[in-house]
Amino acid sequence: MPRILVTNDDGIYSEGIRKLAETLKAVGDVIIVAPDREQSAASHALTLNRPLRLLQIEENEWIVDGTPTDCVNLGVLKLMKETRPDIVVSGINFGANLGDDVTYSGTISAAFEGALLHIPSIALSAVVGEHFSFDGSVQFAVGLVRWALEHQRDPGVILNVNFPVAAPAGVRITKLGRRIYTEGVIERMDPRGRAYYWIGGGAPSWHPGEGTDFEAIQAGYISITPLHLDLTHHDSIPRLKPLEELLAADASR
């Protein structure tokens, strides 16, 4: 049986991870290592400034008082040290992880951590709306994880999957869309007359773009975007090359 490490950023008690883990038992041995509370937008944070606790709450189920990235590290490097997982599955997140927002996502960072540990990894997120249900998404996840165990050969590339609210029209392989940020920070006054701020107030909107994850979701499709961690902008390397000469004197001061 393949070993499946399941984690998320909504926390161990979220419906998305409960249903996902339960359904994936049809595919392999499921080990859950998840944050003990919600860690959405935790991004790729790793806890280095305090001790972490790993608490077993069921057979094959552990909670960590840390981030999704902490969970994958403790899962792979401690709990499953002798029997590494064959795949890391993160989610299903309650809410989309599309376009530029992937950089904040704890759901996706957990999958990237799997990739850094050379394990094929998948991030799953569901768009929230009226008549929301995880049921169709978890069924799709079973088929996708089965496929990935057979065919996802390059662990450096993760799959970022987003489910539309309604029954999907099909599947689209996509690229990341671009977010339009409106009214990014809201200012209010607290009862003592001091300003406080709330980030992300405006309704999200997106630049229209063909082949993007956003377009696929808008059209009612499941979006699958292959992502990798190489943040190097290769085209800029030759353009910036003259700086080596230009700033050489400053560097040797």
Which chain residues interact with Mn ion by CB under 5 A? Answer: 9-10, 40, 93
- Report the number of secondary-structure helices (H) and strands (E) in the chain: 8, 13
Q: How far is the CB of 75 from Mn ion (least distance, A)?
A: 18
Pick the closer one to Mn ion by CB: 86 or 108. 108
The token duo for 201 is: 């107030």
Q: How far is the CB of 165 from Mn ion (least distance, A)?
A: 16
Residues 186 and 198 sit within 8 Å (Cβ to Cβ) = yes
Which class for 107: exposed (0-12), middle (13-18), buried (19 or more C-beta within 10 A)?
buried
Q: How far is the CB of 37 from Mn ion (least distance, A)?
A: 11
Q: How far is the CB of 97 from Mn ion (least distance, A)?
A: 8
In the bound state, the residue with its beta carbon closest to Mn ion is 40
Pick the closer one to Mn ion by CB: 86 or 159. 159
Pick the closer one to Mn ion by CB: 86 or 101. 101
Residues 76 and 116 sit within 8 Å (Cβ to Cβ) = no
Pick the closer one to Mn ion by CB: 10 or 213. 10
102: Cβ contacts below 8 Å, ≥ 6 apart: 108, 160, 176, 227
Pick the closer one to Mn ion by CB: 67 or 212. 67
Residues 87 and 56 sit within 8 Å (Cβ to Cβ) = no
Q: How far is the CB of 190 from Mn ion (least distance, A)?
A: 27
Backbone angles phi, psi at 78, to 5 degrees: -115, -70
Backbone angles phi, psi at 203, to 5 degrees: -65, 135
